Amino acid sequence: MNAEVRQRIEQFVKPLYAGLDGVQTFDRIDRLRAHLATLRERREGGEGHEGTAVGDEGFLDLLLLLHGVVDRLGSLAPGGRLDLFLRGLDLPEELTRRVRAALGRFHDDPRGPEEALLHDALLLESAGVVATADRLMAAGKKRVPLAKALGQLDPGPPPERYRTPRGAALGAHRRKEAEEWIGHLRRKVAAEAGANPAS
């Protein structure tokens, strides 16, 4: 996929990444690109898993740019909004068909290295201390009491949900860090509540 096609796709999808509250979330694409790079790193001479090789860079880039706007594009069937847009880019019919099929299944049933990489990059985005803190902040916006929010706080996806060995290893590490952070917060909240029973 050349730079002109990528730019046209970005211009098409960028407004679709704006939430109902007007918050723009297109910057998530850059974070996912960083996760993809990490998943694909080759580990030379050390312990750990080698990165996952990708067969088709253009296909992966298309999936990355379009993954977050599928719900806003309507049907993924031939003749739908996405199909018409991709055809307008003069992409080969086979590539258009592959993109539509992949976008419909990669969350639950990724097939091939490109789909597995995007699947795992999205899981990594939802794992770790930062993602866990974001979930805690979201609970606070809903006025969930802190102790209850901490009791229900999700530390991120378990390693078995990942489709690549490197994703599973990275995800397990991030989940462990999040669990430790949650445990620390729970202990602090309980200790301070015990010290200040009237509050």
Answer yes or no: do 88 and 176 share one domain.
Answer: no
Q: Indicate whether 116 and 133 sit together in one domain.
A: no
Q: What average pLDDT is seen over the chain? A: 87
Same domain, 45 and 102: yes
Interval 118-128: pLDDT, tens? 999 999 999 99
Q: Could you tell me if 146 and 87 lie in one domain?
A: no
Claim to verify: residue 99 and residue 163 sit in the same structural domain = no
Nearest to 37 by CA among 159, 120, 158, 130: 120
Domain count across the chain:
2
Q: Tens digit of pLDDT for each residue in 66-89?
A: 998 888 887 888 888 888 888 888
Mind listing the pLDDT tens digit for each residue in 163-198? 999 999 999 999 999 999 999 999 999 888 877 655
- In the three-class reduction of DSSP (H, G, I as helix; E, B as strand; rest coil), residue 80 is classed as coil
Structural domain boundaries enclosing 116? 3-125
Cα(132)–Cα(181) distance, rounded to whole angstroms? 9
Indicate the length of the chain as a whole number. 199
Same domain, 119 and 144: no
pLDDT band for position 54 (cuts 50, 70, 90): low
Residues 120 and 174 in one domain: no
Same domain (yes/no): 142, 65: no
What is the identity of the amino acid at 146? L
Nearest Cα to Cα of residue 35 among 18, 11, 17, 52: 52
What's the CA gap between 32 and 44, in Å, rounded?
23
CB contact set of 25 (below 8 Å; sequence gap of 6+)? 17, 18, 19, 68
Of the three residues 125, 141, 165, the one that is the final residue of a domain is 125
Compute CA distances 35 → 62, 83, 85, 89, 185, whole Å. Answer: 16, 28, 27, 27, 27
